[in-house]
A = this chain, B = another copy of it.
Amino acid sequence: MAHQPVSLDPLDRKILAALVANARRSFVEIGQEIGLSPAAVKRRVDRMRESEVITGFTTVVRPSALGWRTEAYVEVFCEGAAPPRRLAEVARTYPEVVAAMTVTGGADALLHIRAADIEHFEEVLERIRAEDFVRRTNSVIVLTHLLPGSPDAGASAPPRGAEGVS
């Protein structure tokens, strides 16, 4: 596990592109598009999954259809030495936290949050600010996406990320 050095040839990249565009396309279809037999395509896909170049296949859902109409990024400023471990723990407990990361700059961490509406977001924000290691937060609410179909415009799994491949 944990392969870092993976080399991908042009054929692999074409297969990847095809599967990113549509994860449900058949190996036959992809094969005749790039000039390879279905079995060969499958072998390459299996290899890429093994080496974790491909980590899963997911469905892109329009978040608003599921009732998540508010999106925001929240900078978190921590008390004293930043405790990424504690923050990760907290982030995991909130289904509204789609992504969390430590960052450079003034803030210690950045949270990507999805909520049903502004009130819901405010409630989540209040709970996060109530954590003892949080000194201050700075929120930026997303108004409109400029790139339709961008991976995280709605690509993210709905709260509670699951991943698994048959």
Contact = CB atoms under 8 A, between A and B. Distances in A.
Secondary structure dominating the interface of A: mixed
B57 A145 contact: no
B22 A101 contact: no
Contacts of A161: 147, 149-151
A92 to B, nearest CB: 7
Nearest to A3: B65
A101 B23 contact: no
A117 B8 CA distance: 19
A61 B55 contact: yes
Interface residues of A, number: 78
A158 interface: yes
- A84, A150, A157 — which one has the most chain B CB atoms within 10 A of its CB? A150
A116 to B, nearest CB: 14
A81 interface: no
Nearest to A104: B141
6 contacts: A52-B65, A57-B57, A91-B147, A99-B147, A99-B151, A150-B156
Interface of A: 2, 4-8, 13, 16-17, 19-25, 29, 51-62, 64-66, 73, 75, 84, 87-88, 91-92, 97-105, 107, 109-110, 112, 138-147, 149-158, 161-166
